[in-house]
A = this chain, B = another copy of it.
Amino acid sequence: MPPRARWQVSDETVTADLGIFLERRHKDVAFFPLAPLIPRGHAKLWAIGAVNFSNGRGCIMTEAATRGRRGRGGGGAARRAERSAVSFETAKYIERNIPNFEVLTEEALDIIEANAEQILEEVGVNFPDNPPALERWREAGASVEGERVRIPKGLARKLCATAPAQFTQHARNPDRNVVIGGKNLVLAPVYGPPFVRDVAGGRRYATMADFQKFVKLGYMSKWLHHSGGTVCEPTDVPVNKRHLDMLLAHMTLSDKPFMGSVTEPSRAQDSVEMCEILFGKDFVQENTVMTSLININSPMTFDDVMMGALEVYAKNNQACIISPFIVGGAMAPVSVAGTLTQVFAEVLAGIAYSQLIRPGAPVIMGAFVTSIDMNSGAPTFGTPEASHITYGAGQLARRLGLPFRSAGSFCGSKLPDAQAAYETANSLNMGLLSGVNFMLHSCGWLEGGLVSSFEKFVMDADQLGTLHHLAAGVQIDENAQAMDAIREVGPGGHYLGCAHTQANFKSAFWKSDLLDYKPFETWEDEGARDTQALATLRVEKMLNDYQQPAIDPATLEALTEFVARKKAAEPDSFM
């Protein structure tokens, strides 16, 4: 079926439902030159010269379609390319070619750093229920009273100096390896929600089947570099066994890098052992194959469970994100500078502790920070105060010389609606510009982190493409200057068919795989769908198109056997 003709062109008139494209060409009735209105008058309109609109869409599209078909003709290689082009391509992690945005002056940063060290020395931090940690601190030169550790000025920073400025996290497919730190940005999906939501099933407890679907969607998402960790909490699997199933899913349904379990030191140990099966024992000791999330119990408490997991990972050369978890005004002062002071004190202490376990263990300075609605006590997302804190934390991380984790597809909304998207876009943009190196929660987060949303996962994952293009910066070479194009077209012309456009249009613009750019009538004929409805279709299509990446059968068997053995070894527990 040929495309429906939506454009009619004569020498003097264009009727189109593209509207704005022609807006100010109409001099007599400014902002009124739209297709549905044209029959009412005899508006003088501007036509795009001799461009062929007979297919209803314009010449560039015709050209693109023709080339596309030509390029894909022929033999098996082309067919393979076509197959793999469906959705299995993963963009390389972002290497920024743009500056960072910095809201704090050097003087303000000096004050915050000095205050953080003052707090560590004077107030200190707690390491409860963890005598070996207290002993390590005492040996390192800290003052220990009960569970309180007071760290003399300069000590924490000196200990942090052995942590690497950047590190490679290996994936089982080496093409998916990520380098975390420097000017890079690695994107990972939502982490932690006990609920899932989609249009068909509403809001409900997450199950292992949901978990597997999210891993598949993450594998299929072009702009997502990392498979993440607890993409949702599989509540139908016993608490003491679910980490096994989650890791098995990441290892077998995807070939992107992933995160380990942190809910008990023994589960961290299981994570390491499963990686030894997947990557080989020596490889794991010499390389980083997991990046795991160690939250600090803000304010300034390092609980024994999280520290126990950290100890396992650091000992095994595996990376940890050491991350204050802060709702400003509740777990930290209500002011931005005060929150940054506490955040920095906490990460200094946490990262220093990781280096006491194993100097050189890879770490990421984390900062989960958001604001609070003082009327309801609810955390709020995508707010300016959260942005200020994140921009500032990025500056502190760069001065410390360590990779930085923050931001994400944060929102408080119950639905993947406009609120969700405003808040998410605010946070994603801020994350890019604040110099984040590892963005957990970069897609799928809904309702303050209570819900992993299938639709929002693909909506956000599509928007992550904009971060890649933004980060690429602006070319200024001769081709980009386009002087010959301007000369060729001249006043009153158009660029749709000119040589420069023909040569560059394919890579010129980021292209959404989800959003609606259709003419109004087409959109209405197709059911007047909103973004959520389009996302429902995309989720279905991606899951239908999913093909499991190949894995060595012996490895798969060994992993499966490990999981079965571990599960059989203890009774189920849901506590």
A95 CB within 8 Å of chain B:
no
Number of interface residues of A (CB under 8 A): 173
A531–B531 alpha-carbon span in the complex (Å): 13
- Minimum CB–CB distance for A395 against chain B, Å: 10
For residue A260, CB closer than 8 A to chain B, the reply is no
CB < 8 Å: which of B468, B474, B575 contacts A108?
B474
Residues of chain A from 92 to 134 with CB closer than 8 A to chain B in the complex: 98-99, 101-105, 107-108, 111-112, 115, 118-119, 122-126
* Least CB separation from A333: chain B residue: B482
Copies in the complex: 2
Q: Is the CB of A474 within 8 A of B20?
A: no
A106 to B: closest C-beta gap in Å: 11
Least distance between A485 CB and chain B CB atoms (Å):
5
| C-alpha spacing A194/B98, complex, angstroms | 38
Asked if residues A492 and B301 are in contact (CB atoms below 8 Å), the reply is yes
A34 to B193, CA, bound (A): 10
Residues of B within 8 A of A469 (CB): 383-385
**Which of A22-30, A74-82, A250-258 has 4 or more CB atoms under 8 Å from chain B?**
A22-30
Contact B418 A297 (CB under 8 A): no
Specify which chain B residues have a CB less than 8 angstroms from the CB of A105 in the assembled complex.
Answer: 476
A523 proximity list for chain B (CB < 8 A): 414
| Chain A window 205-236, contacts with chain B (Cβ cutoff 8 Å), 1 for yes, 0 for no | 00000000000000000000000001001010
Say if the beta carbon of A481 comes within 8 Å of chain B.
Answer: yes
B40 touches A574 (CB 8 A): yes
Stretch at the interface among A54-62, A356-364, A563-571: A54-62
What sequence of 0s and 1s flags, for each residue 489-525 of chain A, a beta carbon within 8 Å of any chain B beta carbon?
1111111100011001110111110011111100110
Question: Within 8 Å CB of A377, what residues of B?
Answer: 18, 21, 57-58, 60-61, 496
The one of B413, B425, B476 that contacts A515, using a Cβ cutoff of 8 Å: B413
Residue A539 is within 8 A (CB to CB) of chain B in the complex? no
Q: Do A418 and B532 have beta carbons less than 8 Å apart?
A: yes
* Residue A487 interfacial (CB < 8 Å): yes
Q: How far is the CB of A134 from chain B (nearest CB, A)?
A: 14
Pair A450/B520 contact, Cβ less than 8 Å: yes
CB-nearest residue of chain B to A326: B495
| A336-375 contact mask (Cβ, 8 Å, vs B): 1 or 0 | 1111011000000000000000000000000000011111
* In the assembled complex, A449 has its CB within 8 A of some CB on chain B: yes
| Shortest Cβ distance from A239 into B: residue | B29
The yes or no answer to A43 lying at the interface (CB within 8 A) is yes
Query: For residues 307 through 352 of chain A, which have their beta carbon under 8 Å from a beta carbon of chain B?
Result: 325, 327-339, 341-342
- Across the two chains, which residue of chain B brings its CB closest to A147? B491
Do A30 and B518 contact each other (CB < 8 Å), given the known contacts A377-B21, A495-B332?
Answer: no
Q: Which of B262, B414, B419 is A520 in contact with, Cβ under 8 Å? A: B414
Do residues A483 and B374 form an inter-chain contact, with CB atoms below 8 A?
A: no
Bound: A472/B385 CA distance, A = 10
Most buried by B among A42, A306, A495: A495
How many angstroms between the C-alpha atoms of A27 and B128 in the bound complex? 12
> Once the chains bind, are B575 and A43 in contact (CB under 8 Å)?
yes
Q: Is the CB of A408 closer than 8 A to any CB of chain B?
A: no
A373 x B233 contact (CB < 8 A): no
- What chain B residues lie within 8 Å of A41 (beta carbons)? 574-575
Please give, as numbers and ranges, the residues of chain B lying within 8 Å of A29 by CB-CB distance.
239, 263, 575
Q: Which residues of B contact A473 (CB under 8 A)?
A: 103, 388
List chain B residues, Cβ under 8 A from A199: none
Which of B98, B192, B332, B494 is A331 in contact with, Cβ under 8 Å?
A: B494
A422 at interface, CB cutoff 8 A: yes
The A379-430 residues at the B interface (CB cut-off 8 A) are: 379-380, 382-385, 387-388, 392, 412-426, 429-430
A470 touches B384 (CB 8 A): yes
Which residues of B have CB within 8 Å of A485?
333-334, 338
- Residue of B whose beta carbon sits closest to that of A124: B491
Q: How far is the CB of A17 from chain B (nearest CB, A)?
A: 9
Between A385, A448, A515, A518, the greatest number of chain B beta carbons within 10 A of the residue's beta carbon is seen for A515
